Structure 1
Amino acid sequence: MSANPPLLEVRDLVVRYGEVTAVDHVSFTLDAGETLALNGPSGCGKSSTVTAVLQLRRPDSGEVRFEGQELTKLTERELRPLRPRMQPVFQDPYGSLSPRRRIRDAVAEALRVQGRWDATGPARVAGLLDRVGLAPAYGDRFPHELSGGQCQRAGIARALASDPRLLVLDEPVSALDPSVRAGVLNLLADLQDELGLAYLFICHDRAVVSHFADRSIEMRSGRLTSA
């Protein structure tokens, strides 16, 4: 464990949907450059945890500290400059990209939204695609013209456009063919070494977790059962 303050600290997180408690006083930390796996079966609360971490759904109680800032008390306007620093990569590579947008436009969108698009934008998009192993020609294609693995690589490129410190990987390889999974996981490992990224890695496959993560914690029925 690093002697520096954690990049992400979650304390007593609670998420409820009506009478159902999906996340029940969950706490963990994640250091810069570390991969922490959140493991458990479907319906155990993993995805509810990460949506609360990302503040896509505000938790009912608890704290989420990122880079020392407590996120749950911030307004949406105050959160906006922090969102690029913590980016999601979702399970469904096709569902996470607009079917009506070419891949280059999906990647460029992050630069445009953040006001960072300029004359160098096209070259930056091409560089991001190259970094994830996609030739520039793939930028002209629509998501349905790519394989699942290629689409997931495009989603990773879009996340990288924001210069994040944390990627929240929500089952990023579970929808891919077994022959493709290793390539995407190797890409993520290389990017982590190159860019110093931290990963919160949501996964139900223990074999993948043991291979990919530095540490793992397990959820059952909304609670952590190990840390």
Structure 2
Amino acid sequence: MLVALDGVPVGSQDGTQLGTLIPVTHLRLPPASRMEFIVTGPSENVKSAQLITQAIVTGPNGDNDTARTLATLVAREEDDDSNVSRVPNVTGPPWTPRFAGLATAAVNTTRRLYFSENAAQTQFFITVAGQTPTVFSANNPPAVVTTQGSVEDWIIENRAQENHEFHFHQIHFLVRSQDNFAINGSQPVAAIQGQMMDMIEIPYWDGNPNHPYPSVTLRMDFRGPDVGDFVYHCHILNHEDQGMMAIIRVLPQP
């Protein structure tokens, strides 16, 4: 059962509930994503079980991500569970949902961004539409300037032939749509639709000039306390190290 993604309980985004468990047998997690889940253990007749990662198709220019074992669970012979830590049924009073009302909030600005690479795959970019692709430097000016209290929709395309992962520091975003996935050979992830996250994968473009680029639409929530300069980037380390990062400046409310 899926409990939470990126630290946010699933199904809790409308501000009226604390979360709803989602039954899943597998879930694709891009680099830096976090998942909390409950697993029903195997029967007493099973002596060991494995948690595995399936093989991932990352695109014609992507990494070779093969299937492999993450953990092996072995049943103990003894039945003494006196040292087993148990989570209490109630841990405290309910908290005020942080993201209440975001889905229906007025949108101040819509922005378009895209991932791209040079032909040699030695330079990686995340670019605001209309700006020049630029390798990241801490000395670069902010690519985006916004104001605390704003709500924005960001449409982010992947124009490269490998997966890229959009990670945003300081805030979470609401996943509004996953577009043009199937025509490029990928499938949207149903469990993340309408979920608050800070990390999302945009799958590869298949290179067919007649196919639109895969994209996601995210509702960015700048209503919180965070102001100043921070970054967004691809969380594949080689990509961010070779330039796929940019600065956003959030100005305090006047």
Name the TM-score, length of structure 1 as normaliser: 0.26
Q: Could you say which structure has the greater relative contact order, defined with CA pairs below 8 angstroms and 6 or more residues apart? A: 1
Name the TM-score, length of structure 2 as normaliser: 0.24
Q: Which has the higher helix share?
A: 1
